[in-house]
Chains A and B, each alone.
Chain A
Amino acid sequence: MTFSLNEIEATAKRAARGAGYSWGVAEEAAKGTRWLCVHGFDGPANLVRLLDLQLALSADHTPNINESAWSGDGVLCPLVTGAYLSDCAGQLAKAPIKIQGISVPLLLLPYAGMVARALNSCVRISMDDLEAVTDGKELCAPGAVQLHADDVTIRLGGDLAMPRSQQARATPDKAAWSKLNDYAHRTYAPATDQSRLLGAGAGLADND
């Protein structure tokens, strides 16, 4: 079964929120998950890999940006790190950004894409021995999945020789999709008699 990208984005947003991220971070995670699907990656499966690590609730996974390389007290969260990367796009125009110890580094790519669009330039992302290049619209990246990267370097430049083909639909792994929905489910309020009665505003007759 294929899913619309809108379904992917809506579910990813709720799932990231359900896993404890703020709404703003969840919005970006959702757009990023969609972006990965467009470029032929299983965005939901990669997001679930991250959410399962439960990094949202501790500041240990937020980058300390005062060092020459961003690192955390624990492993870095790519959603929080990616959001900061996107926020300081201009910094990349001056010097490469180095990141040490990050989970599911693939999830950084959509943020690098936002930076590329903002700077109107290609951005090259080295993740240990893998390398990706994007201008925000197109992406060159190997299909291999890394659960972790020790060293990530993001710099301007690179060349989009063989961009990945773009997809209009997503076919997430069934188990991952189901798990993503479980995370999303955490944002739904359990129904009560009061909410059934009032929440949607029962009123005058609805069968006349």
Chain B
Amino acid sequence: MSRPDAHIARRSPDKVMRLSRLGSLHQCRLSFMRILTRRMASEGWQFTRPVFDIDGNGVGQAVYTAKGPERAYSLVAFAHDLPDEKRSDRVIADAWDATFALFDGVPSDEDIKRLSLNVPLQEAGRVSERELSLSRANRSVRLWTNVVDSLAAGRQPDLKHIRDVGYLMRTTAVYGSGKFGAADRELIAGRDEMHVPFQAEMLSVYLTRTFVRDLVQHMAKAKGRANSVSLDPGIARQLGIGNSTGLGMAPFIINHPILFNNWIMAREEAIARVRGVRTASADEIDTFLRVLNQSVISVDLWRSEHPVQIAKLAQLRLDLQLLNKHLSQQALEKDYPWNRLVEWSAAELSDEGQELVASLILEPYGDLVDGVAHCMADSNHDAFRIDGSMPVAEALSLLREGFAWAFELDWSDKANCARAWYVSEEKLEPRLGERFEEPISDYEQPLAPARDAVAAFLDLESWEPSDPIALFLLSHPEHRHTLRRAQMCRSAPYAEIRDNTISEAVMPIDMLRAKLSFFGATHFDPRSDRWVRICMYAGAPYPEELFPHNADYWVYPESAG
């Protein structure tokens, strides 16, 4: 097993936690999808489809069961016949092409019946502690009919068309952690296979992808009968599951500071360990160059119509050319090659390019990196309690150090607090509004930690340095959430975004991307400044073809096809 030969410090939060960088993160070995597929393959999970009861119009239900060493989990899927005009990615939709729940175990007929009365209603229904997630998906109008018609007519669908879209269906919400009555995270967090965050949700999406492949095949067969052909497995593997993610997800990384810290810190620790490797073996260099070449293909396939992402992609393609040129000059043959490469990239590449390099250098070092995944959950519940005995002077310096950048901003300038996060009455979902143009500031959510930190600092300054902050907080309860966060940062240096989340220039898609990159998403395609489409599991082996040898690097495409 390789070990770091030198101690290299993790990159500083000041560098890592800027929104422009968080909005440029890429998937890596520590992504939740890859952690799941590695585990399922290494433990030899068994997959079955005990129910597939769907008619020729694509209406009915199906159950997919994944059985691990100790427990089974089942995706219960309901397929619907949705008129085109009702199809919408937005959270305000009330009907979908397919709806799902991930059941804890193997559902009985009564369970399926109960779910059939609730799951299709999504937010308007109720699930129980036997369900670990609730989700829905819509067909891609661009691809679905095309694939059904091609297969029904006895032809394979056009691979280029498939790669242009990337998926047959996209999920528009995957709810877990007790939402709408589902099981609390605490009920499953102690299980080995569920300890890493979002494993239930990732499993649900993995099985959803299999269901969607089976459904398209089923409908093609119903349409073309004897003329129809089976979808080529190589083409099927190119298909991921799309996902549309909106503002609802953005506050998550602010509302879960320790959890988010643990994700970032895990990746930064992994990067630091690999940078500490003195010499790269020929095999390790081969692995790196292979995934790099495959990333070039992946970036070529990455489409976006959003001007910001178009510019970032152009820069990333340029970065890859620079990187290849740099590598052609024996850049990996000196000592500490990965450290040198990271330092070179910091000087020469855009944020997108730097973060791609940082993710890619982890690939040859599973033995050095993968164990860090165990630190990605948040089990430090005691960090919630404020230590009120902390002297005012110490609290002042915590705020000053943790939010140094925020003291440079003029918070009375409208541009720096132009936005406010609020929850809409209509759909109970987070939204972002214009503070000075809409009647929303009375409803503002506490999602501007930097502004609040400066405000707390200014009030705290007039107190005696030796006073305990408990006294201050008794007079100023409005600063409790801020002092709690400041104290959390003592053990969670990457807990806070070091950027202004209410500025007129804030791009919520940066927050969405930061979170989605840890899921393992690829091909981020912003559809505005506040919602984004992504692809999940494209290239992944389906359950029947999942083995240790292909459970990990599937995210890197083999060829341009």
**Contact surface of A with B, Cβ cutoff 8 Å:** 1-7, 14, 21-25, 27-28, 31, 62-63, 65, 80, 83-84, 86-90, 114, 117-118, 168-169, 185, 187-192, 194-196, 198-204, 206-208
Contact = CB atoms under 8 A, between A and B. Distances in A.
Interface stretch (B135-143, B146-154, B289-297): B135-143
Interface stretch (B26-34, B266-274, B425-433): B425-433
B178 interface: yes
A147 to B, nearest CB: 23
Contact of A195 (B87, B177, B438, B482): B438
Interface of B: 84, 87-91, 126, 128-129, 138, 140-142, 177-187, 244, 246-247, 305-306, 382, 384-389, 422-426, 428-429, 431-434, 437-440, 442-443, 446, 468-471, 473-474, 477-484, 508, 526-531
Given A87-B386, A87-B388, A22 B478 contact: yes
Given A27-B480, A203-B529, A204-B527, 14 more contacts: A2-B181, A5-B178, A83-B386, A84-B470, A84-B474, A88-B468, A185-B425, A189-B422, A189-B431, A194-B438, A200-B431, A203-B528, A206-B88, A208-B140
A195 to B, nearest CB: 6
Contacts of B428: 188
A185 to B, nearest CB: 7
B528 A83 contact: no
A208 B142 contact: yes
B118 to A, nearest CB: 11
Nearest to B182: A4
Given A189-B439, A208-B140, A7 B90 contact: no
Nearest to B87: A207
B178 A188 contact: no
Given A22-B480, A200-B246, A87 B470 contact: yes
A90 B387 CA distance: 9
A166 to B, nearest CB: 11
Contacts of A31: 384
A198 to B, nearest CB: 7
B478 A196 contact: no
Nearest to A63: B474
A65 B474 contact: yes
Contacts of A24: 473, 477-484
A3 to B, nearest CB: 7
A5 B184 contact: yes
11 contacts: A2-B128, A2-B129, A6-B177, A6-B184, A7-B181, A62-B474, A83-B386, A187-B443, A189-B442, A195-B438, A200-B431
B257 to A, nearest CB: 12
Contacts of B87: 207
Contacts of B477: 21-22, 24-25, 80, 83
A23 to B, nearest CB: 4
Q: Give 10 closest A-B pairs by Cβ, nearest first.
A: A24-B480, A87-B388, A203-B528, A6-B178, A201-B530, A4-B178, A199-B431, A87-B470, A24-B481, A206-B89
A196 B470 CA distance: 42
Nearest to A5: B184
A191 B424 contact: yes
A201 B424 contact: no
Given A188-B428, A199-B432, A206 B244 contact: yes
Identify the interface centre among B140, B470, B481: most chain A CB within 10 Å of its CB: B470
B531 A201 contact: yes
A191 B382 contact: no
Contacts of B437: 194
A187 B423 contact: yes
A83 B473 contact: yes
A118 B382 contact: yes
A199 B440 CA distance: 11
A65 B180 CA distance: 42
Identify the interface centre among B138, B177, B477: most chain A CB within 10 Å of its CB: B477
Nearest to B172: A206
A182 to B, nearest CB: 12
Nearest to A111: B385
A108 to B, nearest CB: 15
Contacts of A87: 386-389, 468-470, 473-474
